[in-house]
Amino acid sequence: MRPCLLLISHAYAALENRKKLQALAQHFDLVCVTSTIEQRVILGRKASDFDNDNDAGARNYQLVRCPRRGSSDTTFRYAGLATVMRSRRFDVVLVENEPWAVVCWQARFWKSLLQPKALFGEFTWENVERPGWKGFILARIYRCMTATTDFIIAGNQAASQLVQKRGAHSNNVLVAPQLGVDLANHQPASPSERDELRKAQGLPSDTFIIGYCGRLTEEKGIRELFQACDDLGSVHLALLGSGALEPWHKEQQQTRPWLHLLPPRPHFEIPAFLRCLDVFVLASKPVRTMQLCWEEQFGHVLIEAMACGVTTLGSSSGAIPEVIGHDDAIFPHGDSKTLADRIRRVMNDSTLAQSQLERTRMFYTHDAVAALWAGFIQQKLAA
């Protein structure tokens, strides 16, 4: 019999992300607790654009939707989680969130009370230490977390080092992505397909296009990306997303005819944008303040772009270098001159794109990620 896994995460309220569950259910008798379909706006779109039940008939696992009680992704708890815990015996309870998240401690409490024989695991992306009093408090939360957790899946190397610094044994920590990518809708475009995709999105077909997709915020390094494009002089830049810098981008569009701004889209429409591009750039830079302390934790759009056969460049911030895996594709964060040089180097060279595509097919599909998780968890069960 396959082990029974209870997975608790708001990430699977996104329809595209549930493709990972399909792969994970090949290894486990899987029950997933996620959020009810919400009415709020996400990246300028209705939440229902990202989540619906169209996949219900194809699920090879049980999806349980619970209402969220709480205002943010780290302060919410799930109403009805105890009922799910009582419904059957689980071999493993795994929750995806940061170590201080309320839902992690809620799951830990009910697991200890209702599933005492089950293993308890957490997935975390957190890769930086907070300054000041926040760091002091969080260090102690980490100690409690590692002391009451059987295994940890860390989304990047820095997250692994952080939990080990706070007491986790290296044998109980796996470094692995949270999600993979679907190769069925992420694949390279032929020249004719790319021209049609560009035409459909109002982009020029006969020019070199650099792209970015995601939050339009300062820490994503978009100002440096603009500067690099200014230096290059003969390229176009396409940005897709929404965020605090959106008004500034619209101002820049008045004096930069090579700048194209596209509105946010649901996950399933992102590949059509990525397949239009010659180069994708994620120029993130670290932020260290009491209000925001952050470095790129993975950059899932990197593997999406790589799967589409698009040359993908990233800054030295956070987990970006380990995700891309090619030194020639990395530039120092905040350094627009080196970024421009990196783009010049790949403008007439497809070898990097091909190598990145092969890397994605090997390590970053949903099946590959699920197999990595399953092998590690089953090893813990057998210990």
Work out whether the CA dihedral 52, 56, 58, 61 comes out positive or negative. Answer: positive
Contact 32, 107 (CB under 8 A): no
**How far is it, in rounded angstroms, from Cα 306 to Cα 359?**
8
Contact 256, 36 (CB under 8 A): no
CA neighbor of 302 nearest in space, from 147, 106, 156, 92: 156
DSSP strand pairing (287-288 vs 293-294):
antiparallel
Digit-by-digit pLDDT tens for the chain (383 residues) are: 899 999 999 999 999 999 999 999 999 999 999 999 876 666 666 766 778 899 999 999 999 999 999 989 999 999 999 999 999 999 999 999 999 999 999 999 999 999 999 999 999 999 999 888 989 999 999 999 999 999 999 999 999 999 999 999 999 999 999 999 999 999 999 999 999 999 999 999 999 999 999 999 999 999 999 999 999 999 999 999 999 999 999 999 999 999 999 999 888 899 999 999 999 999 999 998 877 889 999 999 999 999 999 999 999 999 999 999 999 999 999 999 999 999 999 998 889 999 999 999 999 999 999 999 999 999 999 99
**DSSP-derived secondary structure for 185-254:** T--PPPHHHHHHHHHHTT--SSS-EEEEEEE-SGGGTHHHHHHHHHHH-S-EEEEEEESTTHHHHHHHHT
pLDDT at 289: 81
**How far is it, in rounded angstroms, from Cα 98 to Cα 116?**
22
pLDDT at 41: 66
**How many Å separate Cα 246 from the centre of its chain?**
22
pLDDT at 44: 63
pTM of the model: 0.95
**How far is it, in rounded angstroms, from Cα 300 to Cα 178?**
9
Q: Do domains 4-180+365-382 and 191-363 have the same CATH topology?
A: yes
Work out whether the CA dihedral 82, 83, 89, 90 comes out positive or negative. Answer: negative
For the stretch 274-292, what's the b/e string if a residue is b when 16 or more beta carbons lie within 10 angstroms of its beta carbon? bbbbbbbbbbbbbeeeeee
Q: Top-level CATH class of 4-180+365-382?
A: alpha beta
Domain residue limits, the chain: 4-180+365-382, 191-363
> Would you state the structure tokens that stand for residue 305, as one six-digit string?
């772009």
CA neighbor of 151 nearest in space, from 172, 181, 169: 172
**How far is it, in rounded angstroms, from Cα 98 to Cα 67?**
19
Which amino acid is residue 381, in one-letter code? L
- Provide CB contacts within 8 A for 52, sequence distance 6+: 15, 37
**How far is it, in rounded angstroms, from Cα 129 to Cα 192?**
48
CATH pick for 191-363 out of 3.30.70.1020, 3.90.1300.10, 3.40.50.2000, 3.40.50.1100? 3.40.50.2000
- Describe the chain by its helix, strand, coil percentages, rounded to 5: 40, 20, 40
CA angle 176, 180, 182 (to 5 degrees): 165
